[in-house]
Structure 1
Amino acid sequence: MATRTFPLADILSVTTGLLLTRRTEKPGKALDEIFEFMTGEKLDWWQTPRAADACTEAFIAQHPFLADLKPAKVSNTPIGKATLVFWLVGAELKHGTTVAVEPLTDWTHQDSSQELVDRIEIVNL
């Protein structure tokens, strides 16, 4: 099975739910690239939570150390952001700046329109 190497910061953006990528021009593109490689398809934004869950499980199965990489909860202030950068640099020093991952083997394709309809909850007011 083909593997692909991604920056650890991008992988941690998926596993932690925090946008830690250092891609400054289009940080969301980092996640799009990961999800497209892992699932084998281009996803719409509403499909990404399902992909993130599946990818997080796969990343941890392939690299168990990722399960222990949890940043401290910080505020959205300069000090909080600096704390996250410091944590990320420490993780990169310990584990390397890139991670090779294999794509998902059990991803289930869903029609994106139907998946959107399935996600909408109609609330009676």
Structure 2
Amino acid sequence: MSETRAFPLADVLSVTTPALLSRRGMEGLGELLNYMTGDDLKRWQFLRAADECAAALRAQHPFLADLHPPQGVDKPDLYAWLVEAERAHGGLVRVAPLADWKHQEPIAELGDRIELAKLPTVEP
């Protein structure tokens, strides 16, 4: 395995679950995604990076596959769940970078996203 770096479990869970749990918000999420991709991502690139990084994080740490925050709870309950998860699994997780990240120029990727959003939808 390549070199790894420790990241807060809250940052990792911000990638592997739908909840932004990082105590540093988008900054913490961005730092993890930049490390894993080896790229300097713009915020609109986070979604694509998170999709690819989530699978890699679950492969590196199988316990993440079953670790999901409760839905429909308020922030205090969500953070109470996070504290319990950190007690059970540790506050830091060692993360290896992706081996096959495909860099895209940020402006071109933004243009692609805008074009996809403009596509008409077809009802089944």
The two structures have a TM-score, normalised by structure 1, of: 0.87
Whichever residue aligns with residue 105 of structure 2, its letter is D
Counterpart in the other structure of 1:20: 21
Does the 8 Å CA contact 2:19/2:69 hold for their aligned counterparts? no
The secondary structure found in structure 1 opposite 2:118 is coil
Write out per-residue CA displacement over residues 27-55 of structure 1, whole angstroms, 9 at most, x where no aligned residue.
Answer: 21101110110010101111110000011
Counterpart in the other structure of 2:6: 5
5+ long unaligned stretches in structure 1: none
Counterpart in the other structure of 1:29: 27
How many Å separate the matches in 1 of 2:18 and 2:3? 26
Does the 8 Å CA contact 1:10/1:31 hold for their aligned counterparts? yes
How many Å separate the matches in 2 of 1:112 and 1:21? 24
The two structures have a TM-score, normalised by structure 2, of: 0.88
Confirm whether residue 104 of structure 1 aligns to residue 98 of structure 2: yes
Counterpart in the other structure of 2:46: 48
RMSD, aligned α-carbons: 1.3
5+ long unaligned stretches in structure 2: none
Does the 8 Å CA contact 1:5/1:99 hold for their aligned counterparts? yes
The secondary structure found in structure 1 opposite 2:53 is helix
Counterpart in the other structure of 1:74: 72
How many Å separate the matches in 1 of 2:55 and 2:87? 23
Taking only the aligned residue pairs, the percentage that are identical comes to 53
Counterpart in the other structure of 1:91: 85
Segments of 4+ in structure 1 off by > 6 A? none
Confirm whether residue 113 of structure 1 aligns to residue 95 of structure 2: no
How many Å separate the matches in 1 of 2:23 and 2:45? 23
Q: Do the aligned partners of residues 123 and 54 (structure 1) sit closer, same or farther apart at CA in structure 2, a change above 3 Å counting?
A: closer
